[in-house]
């Protein structure tokens, strides 16, 4: 495996987008030319800084929504450090050149040896999120940097302090300051950055924000990765272990005060006595749960949707929803809606609060149809016998499916993460996420003196090529034998004409 510096000149790296600042990769740092294994090691070593400052990060991460320090360590710092270690161990191999030699080479490509390289895109703009300000932008920054890009991080409003400390950890680990820059948190900062010229935009946010960002990116044909919201379903199949379902749904619904993009929003069950036991048990559990604080950006929409659903005939089984209190104080207890009209918006809206709706389904086909027809298709969970649940999972057109669990398995650093529909496109994390921070460059080298396509044309060319095609792709040995005879004759004519 070769880790020689990639040959990227300032001219190569210049952006030709309208209004772009004409600078090379990383200004004078030449970060893109550092050996791949060195970049991956430096980026990966950031985990040591994070681990040493765990108490400071938990303190900086406390907000009205994040009140449990254990959640910060478990949901952000642990998976981020694991992802950084993965980059140290596997990043260079994932980004290594792929040689394309003689094996499998078409006959007419005789003498050509090629290499496929993964090279930096240039400047990557990362638009951070407020609900997981360490894990999500942290992994995205790490992968973009390991790939050799210059990174601009625009943190979400309210996460300025923790984002600044995160960036400092990368700098202290050896990432040049010219390779990683922290912008201010205003929406204008994101627009200004795009106007100056970037080569990739990575957003974690709502679908509405994604549309605005893509609108501006479209003017300069700037590619983007959109990690957007979800309206995830938890499907309970016959034979599911009800205690596991109840534990997982309560965990996913309440984790991070309900502000998790892959938290459950629809509980799909078939009518049965077992289902009644599940609903009663889960209702009792959620009634006993403490109130949480909903992020200011989500309060009005949550209040409107839940109140309207109740007005249209739905019932809040926990009997604790108070829309006026939510708007006044930002606080609410978990809500579990029953008898929601099938076409109500609460079943297809991205809600960042502990709200879940019971959705009766008669058959598996009905559940599959409802999930695959939802505009948001980020993730889903399936509970039931392993083989049956696994078969059901393969029918879902979503980005991530967890079987007999929820949320936690997606933190595996080896796994990519991304959605479908209004939940976005493209992936971050895992080897696929690392490669998404690069573009391909092919270098094809012809060796030897023979290059038949450069020879002057003659009247035997068509016959020679046709015979070669039949010999190479003949369906039977008899046809290939006949083609070889034709090829031999055509080659003789070709050589004779060439001598004239």
What local confidence, expressed as pLDDT, does residue 108 receive? 77
What local confidence, expressed as pLDDT, does residue 29 receive? 53
Decide if pLDDT at 28 tops 50.
Answer: no
3-state secondary structure 323-380: HHHHHHHCEECCEEEECCCCCCHHHCCCCCCCEEEEEECCCHHHHHHHHHHCCEECEE
Decide if pLDDT at 16 tops 90.
Answer: no
Decide if pLDDT at 13 tops 70.
Answer: no
What local confidence, expressed as pLDDT, does residue 451 receive? 79
pLDDT digits over 177-215, tens only? 999 999 999 999 999 999 999 999 999 999 999 999 999
The mean per-residue pLDDT over the stretch 364-385 comes to 97
The mean per-residue pLDDT over the stretch 268-275 comes to 90
The mean per-residue pLDDT over the stretch 151-165 comes to 97
Q: How far apart are CA 317 and CA 334, in angstroms?
A: 10
The mean per-residue pLDDT over the stretch 156-161 comes to 96
Q: How far apart are CA 33 and CA 122, in angstroms?
A: 12
Contact 261, 229 (CB under 8 A): yes
> What whole-number percentage of the chain has pLDDT above 90?
84
Decide if pLDDT at 229 tops 60.
Answer: yes
- The count of C-alpha atoms lying within 13 angstroms of the C-alpha of 392, restricted to the half-sphere facing its C-beta, is 28
> 19-33, 138-152, 160-174, 217-231: lowest mean pLDDT where?
19-33
Contact 459, 498 (CB under 8 A): no
pLDDT digits over 77-86, tens only? 999 999 999 9
Q: Which residues contact 473 (CB under 8 A, 6 or more apart)?
A: none
What local confidence, expressed as pLDDT, does residue 25 receive? 43
Decide if pLDDT at 270 tops 50.
Answer: yes
Start-end of H helices in 14-77: 36-44, 46-52, 54-61, 69-72
What local confidence, expressed as pLDDT, does residue 450 receive? 76
Average pLDDT, the chain: 92
What local confidence, expressed as pLDDT, does residue 455 receive? 80
pLDDT digits over 415-440, tens only? 999 999 999 999 999 999 999 999 99
What local confidence, expressed as pLDDT, does residue 3 receive? 37
pLDDT digits over 52-73, tens only? 999 999 999 999 889 999 999 9
Q: How far apart are CA 311 and CA 350, in angstroms?
A: 20
């Amino acid at each position: 495996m070769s880790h020689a510096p990639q040959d990227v000149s300032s001219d190569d790296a210049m952006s030709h987008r309208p209004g772009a600042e004409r600078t090379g990769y990383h200004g004078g740092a030449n970060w893109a030319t550092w050996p791949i294994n060195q970049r991956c090691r430096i980026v990966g070593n950031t985990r040591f800084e994070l681990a040493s400052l765990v108490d400071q990060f938990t303190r900086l991460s406390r907000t009205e929504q994040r009140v449990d320090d254990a959640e910060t360590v478990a949901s952000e710092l642990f998976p981020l450090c694991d992802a950084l270690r993965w980059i140290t161990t596997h990043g260079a191999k994932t980004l290594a050149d792929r040689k394309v030699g003689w094996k499998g080479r078409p006959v007419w490509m005789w003498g050509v040896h090629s290499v496929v390289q993964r090279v930096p895109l240039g400047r990557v703009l990362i638009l951070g999120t407020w609900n997981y300000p360490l894990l999500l932008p942290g992994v995205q920054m790490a992968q973009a940097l390991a790939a050799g890009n210059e990174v601009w991080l625009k943190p979400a409003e309210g996460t300025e302090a923790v984002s600044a400390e995160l960036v400092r950890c990368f700098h202290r680990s050896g990432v040049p300051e010219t390779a990683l820059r922290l912008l201010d948190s205003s929406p204008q900062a994101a627009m200004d950055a795009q106007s100056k010229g970037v080569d990739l935009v990575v957003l974690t946010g709502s679908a509405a924000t994604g549309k605005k960002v893509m609108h501006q990116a479209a003017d300069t044909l700037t590619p983007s990765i959109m990690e957007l919201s979800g309206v995830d379903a938890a499907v309970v199949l016959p034979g599911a272990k009800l205690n596991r379902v109840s534990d997982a749904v309560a965990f996913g619904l309440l984790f991070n005060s309900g502000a998790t993009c892959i938290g459950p929003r629809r509980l799909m069950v078939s009518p049965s006595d077992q289902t009644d036991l599940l609903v009663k048990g889960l209702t009792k559990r959620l009634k006993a749960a403490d109130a949480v604080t909903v992020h200011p950006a989500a309060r009005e929409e949550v209040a409107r949707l839940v109140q309207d659903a109740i007005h249209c005939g739905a019932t809040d089984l926990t009997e604790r929803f108070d829309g006026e209190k939510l708007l006044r104080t930002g606080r609410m207890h978990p809500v579990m809606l029953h008898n929601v009209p099938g076409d109500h918006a609460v079943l297809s809206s991205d809600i960042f609060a502990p709200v879940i709706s019971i959705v009766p389904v008669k058959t598996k086909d009905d559940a599959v149809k409802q999930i695959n027809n939802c505009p948001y298709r980020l993730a889903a969970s399936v509970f039931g016998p392993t083989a049956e649940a696994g078969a059901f999972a393969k029918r879902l057109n979503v980005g991530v499916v967890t079987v007999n669990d929820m949320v936690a398995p997606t933190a595996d650093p080896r796994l990519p993460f991304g959605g479908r529909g209004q939940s976005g496109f493209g992936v971050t994390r895992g080897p696929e996420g690392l490669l998404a921070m690069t573009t391909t460059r092919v270098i094809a080298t012809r060796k030897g003196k023979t290059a038949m396509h450069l020879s002057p044309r003659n009247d035997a060319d068509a016959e020679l090529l046709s015979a070669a095609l039949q010999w190479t792709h003949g369906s039977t040995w008899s046809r290939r034998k006949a083609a070889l005879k034709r090829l031999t004759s055509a080659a003789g004519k070709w050589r004779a004409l060439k001598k004239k």
